[in-house]
Amino acid sequence: MSDVIAQLFDNNRVWAAQMQSEDPAYFLRLVRQQSPEYLWIGCSDSRVPANQIIGLDPGEVFVHRNVANVVVHSDLNALAVIQFAVDILRVKHILVVGHYGCGGVRAVINDEKNGLVDNWLRHVRDVRDCYTKQLAQVDDFSWRHDRLCELNAIHQAVSICQTTVLRDAWLRGQDVTVHAWCYSLHNGLINDLKVSARSREEAVEQADNAVARMFWMKNKRRRGVRADA
């Protein structure tokens, strides 16, 4: 075994022993069952670890991650995670968490060529294409990058609300809310994008409002009015 991999096993033994000594019943509890209240759908980016960011232990959050936190209606992997989380685990909240500085989103803005992954990122490009005019109104790369990270999270949250899984859950009166957030690598804080939907209609309306606010605020700033005025 290479030294690098051997180190991971060493780390693992130290971690397991530490958890055991801090809380002797820790693993026993986890083995018995998982009953998370949250499903986290985030980017695969190594800097965005679900549990740590929201301060939850193993067993408390069900996690699905892919490049640029995309939810596509034909993606059996994501759909299976969502269906299991909603129907079986009965999570109360689905957190769609984009992040500022996302490399996948940047690749879309820059029209980068990275190979096969470009096909996956085509979904983010679709989001970008919906807002070509709005995004072009400011000639500032990082502003456009930030906005597309937010727009992407909002769109993916709405996409979840349109799945048969969520529609059926709401139809039978199940209590489950879909949220859109964006995490900052700069300060570790989550920005609430103000989508917290308990129905398809609510999701679309909140998303429309969030997007309108996003570009309206920029217009106000450009006219010299404070965004929070």
Residue 86 or residue 146: which is nearer to Co ion going by CB? 146
Q: How far is the CB of 139 from Co ion (least distance, A)?
A: 24
The letter for the amino acid at 198 is R
Give CA angle at 30 (29, 34), nearest 5°: 115
Tokens of 52: 């740590």
**Residues at the interface with Co ion (CB under 5 A):** 43, 45, 102, 104
Q: How far is the CB of 101 from Co ion (least distance, A)?
A: 8
Residue 35 or residue 44: which is nearer to Co ion going by CB? 44
Query: Beta strands 177-183 and 190-197: pairing type?
Result: antiparallel
Q: How far apart are CA 30 and CA 129, in angstroms?
A: 44
Q: How far is the CB of 227 from Co ion (least distance, A)?
A: 25
Q: How far apart are CA 152 and CA 207, in angstroms?
A: 11
Q: How far apart are CA 130 and CA 216, in angstroms?
A: 17
Q: How far apart are CA 98 and CA 158, in angstroms?
A: 13
Residues with a catalytic annotation lie at: 43, 45, 47, 99, 102
Residue 21 or residue 46: which is nearer to Co ion going by CB? 46
Q: How far is the CB of 110 from Co ion (least distance, A)?
A: 14
Asked if 149 and 105 count as a contact pair (C-beta separation under 8 A), the reply is yes
Asked if 22 and 77 count as a contact pair (C-beta separation under 8 A), the reply is no
Residue 86 or residue 154: which is nearer to Co ion going by CB? 154
- Cα–chain center distance at 200: 18
Q: How far apart are CA 112 and CA 166, in angstroms?
A: 34
Q: How far apart are CA 159 and CA 10, in angstroms?
A: 42
Q: How far is the CB of 111 from Co ion (least distance, A)?
A: 17
Residue 36 or residue 104: which is nearer to Co ion going by CB? 104
Asked if 200 and 178 count as a contact pair (C-beta separation under 8 A), the reply is no
